[in-house]
C-alpha cells in the first residue's frame, strides 16, 4: 500500500550541546532509528552522506542505495541534489520565516540539519523524534543531532520535498514550543502546522497530485473525524490539514505562527492569539464557521464560508445523515454521538413543503458543550446561516419558508460538534450524544420519530477510491487494497505488518467494486522477484522471463510493491514456471 502519511513520535529528555563538527561528503554513519517505521524493523541503520548543502546534510540509507540499479542511482543523485538545493533555497528560508528557527547550532554544535533518507514501511512518509535533540549522556539512544527522517522512496516518487517540509516543521516546533516555551504541543496542531508547511513551501501547487489534494480527497471521504483525537490515520491528517488551511485562508499564515509562540498548547493557543488581535470570535466560533464552509464552500456568500487555497474550492462534504421532512413526515429526529471537536452534518430535505405555512423549527438537545450552525438553503441558491451555542428546548431555531426573493426552502443542514476549549494533553476526551429535531411549526406538536441512523451516502458527491484505499463490497467482509485499476485481497494480519490494522474500510457498491481487476502479484521494495499470492497464504515465485510474462498476457501494472515483512509472512510454495 502506498498511501503516505506522516508521524511524529515524542520523547522528552534534557541535555547540553556537543562541540561543533562538520560532516564530509561520502562519510558513513550508523544512526539509531525507530523500528516501528523502518522497513525491516531495524533499530540502527548505516547511511552515507551523499549531498551537502548550506543548511542540510543528506544521508542515504545504504540498503536503499544498494537496491537501486546504476541508472536509478544516477537519477537518485540528481533528485537528491535538487532536494538539497530546495532545502537551502525554499524550504528552510520560507519555514523559518514563518515559524521561527530550529535549535541551531543545537546539540551537535553544527548548524546543518541532518536529513536521513531511510527505507521506511510502505505508507510512511517520514517521522521526527525529539530524543535526538539531546546529548547521549542524558539520552543514551539519542543520535545527538538536529535531524529528521524521510522515506528514501520519496526521492524518486516526487514527494521528498513535501515530506521534508512537513518533518522540518516538527524540528522547528520542538524548539519554539518545547525548548523556548516549555510546553508540549497538542499532536493535532503540531501535525496541522506540518501539513500547512507543505503549502507554505509552495508544494501544494499544482494541486493535482499534491499531498494537499490527497488530504482533500481523504477529508471528503471521511469528514466526520475528530480534530483533536489522534489515532494517526489518514483521516486525522486530512481534517487538521483542511482546518488549518481554512484558518490560514481566513486570517493569514501569521495567525498559525502565533499559536506556536504562546506558552499554552492546542485550543487555548488559538484563543490567546485571537484575543491578542482583538477578534471577538474564539476557537469554537472559528470551528463552527469552518463546518459551514465545508458544506457551502462559497466565499461569495460570505468570506467566512469558503476556502481560498487553490484546489480547495471544490471541497463539499456529504451530510453524515439525511432524511426528508414533508407534510407526510412532519418531524424527523437525528441521533448523533460525537467525540470532542468531531464535526457532523445532518440534512433535512424540505423542498416539497411549498412557500406557505409556519416556519420550520430546529432543536438540538443533549448533554455536553454543543455548538454549531443551522444552514438553510433556498431554491434560488441563497442561504441563511444561524449559529447556536448550547442546547435547550427553549432555544429552537425557526427558519422562514421563503427567502427574501420568495423562493421556497430546499434543504436545512445542522452542522454541529461538541467539545471544551482546553488543550488535549493527556486528559480524557469525552464523547456525548445529542438529538437534532427538524419539524414543521412547533417541534413539540409532533411525536418524536425513530432516530435517523448514520448511513454512508454515495450521492450526490460520491468520491472514487484512490490508490491505497481499503474497500469491500457492501455487505461483504473480505477486504481489498486498490492501486490503479487493480484490487488485491488483504487480511488484517497483513495490514498489521504496516501498522494499518485500524485503517478505515470503504463499503462500495458492486458497480464500483468490479471496476477493479483482481491482482495476486507482489514484489518486495527494491527486489526483482515477483510472487503470486494464494488465498491459503502462500507465495509462489514467477520463475519466468519478461518475455514469458508478456506472452502470458499478464500485466506489469498488476504488481503491488510491498515491504519485506509481508513477503516473509507468506509460506513459500512451488515456483510458477509458465
Which residues does the chain have with pLDDT short of 50?
1-16, 456-462
Which pLDDT score, from 0 to 100, does residue 4 have?
30
Which pLDDT score, from 0 to 100, does residue 23 have?
93
Rounded to 5 degrees, φ, ψ at 559 are -90, 120
What are the grid coordinates assigned to 230, written together?
A: 489522534
Which pLDDT score, from 0 to 100, does residue 19 have?
52
Contacts of 298 (CB under 8 A, 6+ apart): 305, 306
**Cα–Cα distance for residue pair 52/49, rounded to 1 Å:** 7
Does residue 393 have a cis bond before it (omega within 30 degrees)? no
**Cα–Cα distance for residue pair 222/3, rounded to 1 Å:** 15
Strands (E), 56-122: 56-61, 113-118
What are the grid coordinates assigned to 489, written together?
A: 485481497
Residue 96: closest CA among 43, 169, 26, 23? 169
What are the grid coordinates assigned to 35, written together?
A: 523500528
**Cα–Cα distance for residue pair 546/472, rounded to 1 Å:** 32
Q: Which CA distances in Å does 334 have to 63, 223, 296, 321? A: 54, 18, 21, 7
Residue 318: closest CA among 119, 459, 174, 486? 459
pTM: 0.77
Which pLDDT score, from 0 to 100, does residue 572 have?
87
Which pLDDT score, from 0 to 100, does residue 154 have?
94
* Cβ neighbours around 32 below 10 Å, total: 17
In terms of Cβ atoms closer than 10 Å to its own Cβ (0-12, 13-18, 19+), residue 552 is: exposed
Instruction: Tell whether domain 321-445 is in CATH 2.40.420.
Output: no
Which pLDDT score, from 0 to 100, does residue 290 have?
98
Residue reference for cell 528514501:
152
CA angle (242, 247, 252) in 5-degree steps: 125
Residue 190: closest CA among 204, 177, 200? 177
What are the grid coordinates assigned to 256, written together?
A: 498559525
Domain segments of the chain: what residues? 1-180, 181-317, 321-445, 470-572
* Alpha-carbon Rg for the chain in angstroms: 26
Strands (E), 62-208: 113-118, 124-129, 147-151
**Cα–Cα distance for residue pair 303/133, rounded to 1 Å:** 42
Contacts of 268 (CB under 8 A, 6+ apart): 262, 421, 422, 423
Q: Which CA distances in Å does 417 have to 227, 336, 360, 363? A: 11, 9, 22, 14
Which pLDDT score, from 0 to 100, does residue 20 have?
58
Which pLDDT score, from 0 to 100, does residue 430 have?
82
**Cα–Cα distance for residue pair 349/459, rounded to 1 Å:** 14
Give how far the C-alpha of residue 40 lies from the chain's centroid of Cα atoms, to the nearest Å. 25
3-state secondary structure of 165: helix
What are the grid coordinates assigned to 283, written together?
A: 476557537
Does residue 549 have a cis bond before it (omega within 30 degrees)? no
Amino acid at each position: 500500500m502506498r498511501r503516505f502519511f506522516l508521524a511524529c513520535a515524542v520523547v522528552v529528555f534534557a541535555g547540553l550541546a556537543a562541540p561543533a563538527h562538520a560532516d564530509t561528503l561520502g562519510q558513513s554513519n550508523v544512526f539509531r532509528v525507530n523500528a516501528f517505521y523502518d522497513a525491516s524493523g531495524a533499530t540502527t541503520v548505516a547511511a552515507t552522506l551523499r549531498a551537502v548543502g548550506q543548511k542540510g546534510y543528506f544521508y542515504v540509507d545504504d540498503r536503499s542505495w544498494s537496491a537501486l540499479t546504476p541508472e536509478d542511482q544516477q537519477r537518485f543523485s540528481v533528485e537528491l541534489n535538487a532536494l538539497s538545493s530546495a532545502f537551502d533555497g525554499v524550504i528552510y528560508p520560507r519555514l523559518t520565516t514563518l515559524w521561527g528557527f530550529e535549535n541551531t547550532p543545537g546539540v551537535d554544535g553544527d548548524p546543518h540539519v541532518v536529513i536521513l533518507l531511510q527505507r521506511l514501511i510502505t505508507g510512511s512518509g517520514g517521522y521526527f523524534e525529539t530524543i535526538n535533540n539531546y546529548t547521549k549522556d542524558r539520552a543514551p539512544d539519542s543520535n545527538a543531532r538536529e535531524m529528521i527522517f524521510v522515506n528514501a522512496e520519496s526521492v524518486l516518487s516526487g514527494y521528498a520535498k513535501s515530506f521534508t517540509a512537513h518533518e522540518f516543521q516538527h524540528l522547528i516546533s520542538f524548539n519554539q514550543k518545547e525548548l523556548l516555551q516549555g510546553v508540549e504541543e497538542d499532536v493535532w496542531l503540531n501535525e496541522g502546522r506540518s501539513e500547512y508547511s507543505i503549502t507554505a513551501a509552495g508544494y501544494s501547487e499544482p494541486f493535482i497530485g499534491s499531498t494537499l489534494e490527497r488530504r482533500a480527497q481523504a477529508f471528503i471521504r471521511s469528514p466526520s473525524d475528530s480534530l483533536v483525537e489522534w489515532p494517526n490515520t489518514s483521516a486525522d491528517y486530512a481534517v487538521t490539514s483542511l482546518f488549518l488551511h481554512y484558518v490560514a485562508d481566513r486570517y493569514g499564515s501569521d495567525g498559525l505562527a502565533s499559536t506556536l509562540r504562546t506558552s499554552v498548547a492546542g485550543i487555548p493557543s488559538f484563543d490567546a492569539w485571537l484575543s491578542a488581535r482583538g477578534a471577538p470570535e474564539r476557537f469554537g466560533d472559528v470551528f463552527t464557521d469552518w463546518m459551514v464552509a465545508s458544506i457551502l464552500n462559497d466565499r461569495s456568500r460570505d468570506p467566512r464560508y469558503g476556502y481560498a487555497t487553490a484546489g480547495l474550492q471544490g471541497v463539499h462534504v456529504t451530510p453524515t445523515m439525511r432524511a426528508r421532512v414533508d407534510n407526510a413526515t412532519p418531524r424527523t429526529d437525528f441521533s448523533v454521538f460525537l467525540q470532542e471537536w468531531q464535526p457532523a452534518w445532518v440534512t433535512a430535505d424540505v423542498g416539497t413543503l411549498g412557500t406557505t405555512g409556519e416556519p420550520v423549527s430546529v432543536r438540538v438537545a443533549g448533554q455536553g458543550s454543543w455548538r454549531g450552525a443551522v444552514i438553510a438553503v433556498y431554491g434560488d441558491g441563497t442561504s441563511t446561516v444561524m449559529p447556536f451555542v448550547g442546547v435547550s428546548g427553549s432555544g429552537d431555531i425557526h427558519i422562514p419558508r421563503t427567502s427574501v426573493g420568495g423562493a421556497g426552502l430546499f434543504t436545512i443542514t445542522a452542522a454541529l460538534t461538541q467539545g471544551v476549549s482546553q488543550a488535549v494533553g493527556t486528559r480524557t476526551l469525552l464523547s456525548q450524544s445529542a438529538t437534532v429535531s427538524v419539524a414543521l411549526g412547533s417541534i413539540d406538536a409532533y411525536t418524536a420519530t425513530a432516530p435517523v441512523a448514520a448511513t454512508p451516502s454515495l450521492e450526490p458527491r460520491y468520491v472514487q477510491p484512490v490508490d491505497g484505499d481499503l474497500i469491500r463490497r457492501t455487505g461483504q467482509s473480505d477486504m481489498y487494497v486498490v492501486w490503479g485499476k487493480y484490487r488485491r485481497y488483504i487480511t488484517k494480519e497483513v495490514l498489521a505488518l504496516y501498522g494499518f490494522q485500524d485503517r478505515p474500510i470503504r463499503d462500495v457498491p458492486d458497480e464500483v467494486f468490479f471496476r477493479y481487476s483482481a491482482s495476486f502479484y507482489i514484489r518486495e521494495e527494491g527486489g526483482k522477484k515477483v510472487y503470486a499470492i494464494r488465498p491459503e497464504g502462500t507465495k509462489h515465485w514467477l520463475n519466468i522471463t519478461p518475455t514469458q510474462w508478456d506472452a502470458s498476457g499478464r500485466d506489469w501494472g498488476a504488481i503491488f510493491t510491498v515491504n519485506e515483512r509481508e513477503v516473509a509472512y507468506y509460506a513459500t510454495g512451488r515456483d510458477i514456471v509458465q
